[in-house]
């Protein structure tokens, strides 16, 4: 089985997230993907490849262009507010409710970030866009591999993606890798695609 691995995932490494009223070290960290990669290699489960590039049109099959443009430019806009912001993550602090007008993007960065997010547990960092885009390309590469006839492919990527919406991030996710892969398979001619979300709880 071929694994498509995000070589840029560690560029997204948040310092803190808001959890139950306190800023705590981020739970979603690069070590998670590093551990899986080490196990894949130890068990010799197949080749590990970098993803192939995909243009923005592939991302627009799921996400709004306005949202993608926000993600790409957000870090530069955050640092432009105050150069000291380069040393700290951007976390949303206000959320314009969806009953307000959402067709007009706010001029204020804090309002704009709130418009495109649903929690304060998903920090945006200097490398978030590069890492998230490469992660989406892992999912698309795996889907393309299957669409071309492979029995299976594995996308090993972070930041994760399945909580992201068409125009919002949260739950540690920025681009919805699962939806992108499913849509790519549909666009490649598959009539039906199933998405199985497996979660687990480790009890010590």
**pLDDT by residue (tens digit) across 34-65?**
999 999 999 999 999 999 999 999 999 999 99
Tell me which residue of 131, 172, 128 sits closest to 18, measured CA to CA.
172
**Domains present along the chain, CATH in parentheses:** 2-187 (3.40.800.20)
151-163 average pLDDT score: 94
5-17 average pLDDT score: 96
Mean of all residue pLDDT scores within the chain: 93
Chain mean position to CA 162: 8
Tell me which residue of 128, 129, 125, 135 sits closest to 54, measured CA to CA.
135
Verify whether residue 35 is a known catalytic residue: no
Position with higher pLDDT, 96 vs 118: 118
* Percent of the chain scoring above 90 in pLDDT: 84
- The answer to whether the beta carbons of residues 152 and 112 sit under 8 Å apart is no
For position 35, what pLDDT does the model report? 95
Catalytic residue among 63, 145, 163, 184: 163
pLDDT class for 92, splitting at 50, 70, 90? very high
DSSP for 11-62? G---SEEEETTEEEE-SS-HHHHHHHHHHHHHTT-S-EEPPPP--HHHHTTT
113-119 average pLDDT score: 92
- The answer to whether the beta carbons of residues 134 and 51 sit under 8 Å apart is yes
Residue 141 C-beta-side C-alpha neighbours within 13 Å? 22
For position 104, what pLDDT does the model report? 85
For position 203, what pLDDT does the model report? 60
Range with the lowest mean pLDDT among 76-80, 96-100, 182-186?
A: 96-100
For position 150, what pLDDT does the model report? 96
14-41 average pLDDT score: 94
Instruction: Provide CB contacts within 8 A for 82, sequence distance 6+.
Output: none
pLDDT class for 20, splitting at 50, 70, 90? confident
For position 202, what pLDDT does the model report? 62
Q: What is the largest CA-CA distance in the chain?
A: 52
For position 59, what pLDDT does the model report? 97
For position 204, what pLDDT does the model report? 55
Chain mean position to CA 151: 25
Q: What is the CB neighbour count within 10 angstroms for residue 161?
A: 26
pLDDT class for 199, splitting at 50, 70, 90? confident
168-174 average pLDDT score: 96
């Amino acid at each position: 089985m071929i694994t498509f691995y995000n070589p840029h995932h560690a560029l997204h490494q948040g310092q803190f997230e808001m959890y139950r009223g306190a800023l705590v070290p981020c739970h979603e960290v690069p070590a998670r993907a590093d551990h899986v990669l080490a196990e894949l290699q130890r068990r010799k489960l197949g080749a590990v490849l970098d993803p192939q590039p995909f243009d923005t049109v592939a991302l627009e099959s799921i996400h709004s262009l306005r949202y993608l443009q926000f993600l790409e430019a957000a870090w530069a806009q955050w640092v432009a507010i105050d150069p000291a912001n380069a040393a700290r993550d951007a976390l949303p602090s206000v959320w314009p409710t969806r009953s307000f007008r959402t067709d007009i993007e706010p001029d204020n960065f804090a309002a704009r970030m709130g418009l495109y997010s649903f929690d304060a547990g998903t920090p945006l960092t200097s490398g978030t866009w590069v890492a998230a885009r490469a992660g989406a390309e892992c999912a698309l590469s795996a889907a393309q591999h299957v669409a071309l006839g492979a029995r299976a492919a594995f996308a090993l990527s972070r930041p994760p993606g399945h909580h992201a919406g068409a125009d919002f991030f949260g739950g540690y996710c920025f681009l919805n890798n699962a939806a992108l892969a499913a849509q790519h398979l549909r666009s490649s001619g598959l009539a039906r695609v199933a998405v199985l979300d497996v979660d687990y709880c480790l009890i010590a």
